Amino acid sequence: MRIAVIGAGALGLFYGARLQKSGNDVHFLLRRDFEAIGSNGLTVYSVDGDFRLPKVNAYQTPEEMGKADLVLVGLKTFANHRYQELIGPVVGEETIILTMQNGLGNEEALAELFDARRILGGVAFLRSNRGVPGVVYHLGEGRLILGEYRQGETALAEQIAPIFQAAGLECRVVPDLKRARWEKLVWNIPFNGLCALLQRPVDALLNLDSTRDLILEIMREVISAGNAQCLMKDIPISFAEKLVSFSLGLGPYRPSMLIDRIEGRQLEIESIFHKPLQAAVRAGVRMPRVETVAALLEATENG
C-alpha cells in the first residue's frame, strides 16, 4: 500500500517507520529531519527492538509525493488550517485519510474538505519522542484504536486495521470513534494539562495525594461530559480509577504537552481543551476544573 505521512513528528515517524519496515511503500513529508533522513536514513530505538531504515522516501512539499492510497495525518492540531494545503495534493479518488491527532474536531474538519466516507480516526496510545534529526525513541505501547467518522460504520476501518497488525502493532476497530476520543481525553486533559503547568512528569503528580485527587476529579468531569455526547455506550465513572492505576506504572513519563512546554513550542490547547469544553457546554454539562486548567495554560502560553 502506498502511504503518505503528513506530520512526521515522533508519532508520524514511528508509525510510518513500522509500516515501511513491514513492506509498505511509505512516503514522508519532512521539515527538520529532511536532510538527516535523506543522508542517513531513519533510526528507531524501540522497546520492541531497534531498527534502521537506510532508505526513506522523503519530501519537502506534498506536491512531490504523488497520490496515496492511505494518508496518515500526524500534524499538531494547531496546524489544521493547513489541511487542504498539505493533504489535498496527495488525495486521489480512492484515498483514505486517517487522522492520528489528539483531541476533538479533526475528523469534522477533514470531512468538510474531503468526502466524509473516506475519513478515519486513530486513537494512538504511544509513548515516544524525537531525538536528534532522523532518530525516534519508542518508550512504550503503540496500540491503536481505529474508528470511522460515521458513527456505527466499521467496514473501512476493518480494511485498514490489518495493515497495522501486519506491522506488529496492536490495532482494533470500534464502531464508536467518538467514545474512543473521549476515553483518551480522560487521560490527556489532566495529565497533559497539569504536567505542562507544573513542568513535572506523571509520577510526580501521582506521588502527592492532593494532585492525584485533583487528577481523579478532572477525569470524572471529562467522563460526565463525554457521556452527554450521544455515545453508543457510556464510559463508566470507574474508568478514572483504572487510568490512574495504569498511570502509576508509567514512572517519570513526560506527556507531549509537557515536552512542548519545556521546548517552548505551541500547545494543542484548542483541540484538547477548548473543543471538549465547547462540546460539554452544548450538552449542558460544565467542567469547572478543566476550565481552570485551560485558562492557566493560556495564561502561561507565552512564558
**Which residue among the candidates 67, 184, 242, 275 is catalytic per the annotation?**
184
Distance set, CA 202 to CA 97, 124, 153, 251, 302 (Å): 32, 18, 35, 7, 23
3-class SS at 81?
A: helix
* Alpha helix (H) residue ranges in the chain: 10-21, 34-40, 83-87, 106-113, 155-166, 177-198, 202-206, 209-226, 239-247, 256-262, 269, 275-282, 288-299
Which grid coordinates belong to 71?
494518508
Which grid coordinates belong to 227?
457521556
| Strand 51-53 relative to strand 42-46, pairing | antiparallel
3-class SS at 113?
A: helix
Which grid coordinates belong to 295?
485558562
3-class SS at 3?
A: strand
184 is annotated as an active-site residue: yes
End-to-end CA distance of the chain: 44
| Strand 119-130 relative to strand 68-73, pairing | unpaired
Round to whole Å and give the CA distance between 296 and 199. 13
Give Rg (Cα) of the chain: 19
β-partners of residue 4 are: 27, 71
| Residue numbers annotated as active site | 184
